Amino acid sequence: MVSPETPSASISAQRPVAAVIAVVERQGHLLLVRRGNAPDVGRWGFPGGKIEFGETVFEAVVRELREETGVRGQALYTMDSVDVLVPGKGRLARHHYVLIAVKCRWLSGEPVAADDALEARWFTPMELGSGQWDLSDRVMDITRQALQP
């Protein structure tokens, strides 16, 4: 029998954490937040967070969008998923998040950083591609998908 203290037991008990990111476009601009917490502290990414037990993906993305930015949105469809693996010791991940990217329609509100966001603002795709912003992984991939007709 494997004791709870052995690495193989603790690894097998870990599970990826399901989370959402809101991909909100308004007049050719995309809404991003600068993260205040790990992972990605200080980097710019789409607003979002963990899905709560009993909450649908669409409910979670609308809630997280409102909590982080004050913006009201309507979830339209799931776009993509992003694996975020936070390194641990050796080859093992300390944390594993699966971010579900959801395209959202802007309904109302101007972004104000709240919850765990340090800043919130609208960006043009050109600004995001300029290289002057420290972006979270896959932001540009998801930006391209979001702006496809």
Catalytic residue set: 119
Q: What is d(CA 87, CA 56) in angstroms, rounded to the nearest whole number?
A: 28
Q: What is d(CA 28, CA 95) in angstroms, rounded to the nearest whole number?
A: 34
Cα–Cα nearest to 106, from 142, 70, 57, 136: 70
Strands (E), the chain: 17-26, 29-35, 44-45, 48-50, 72-87, 93-108, 117-123
Q: What is d(CA 11, CA 14) in angstroms, rounded to the nearest whole number?
A: 5
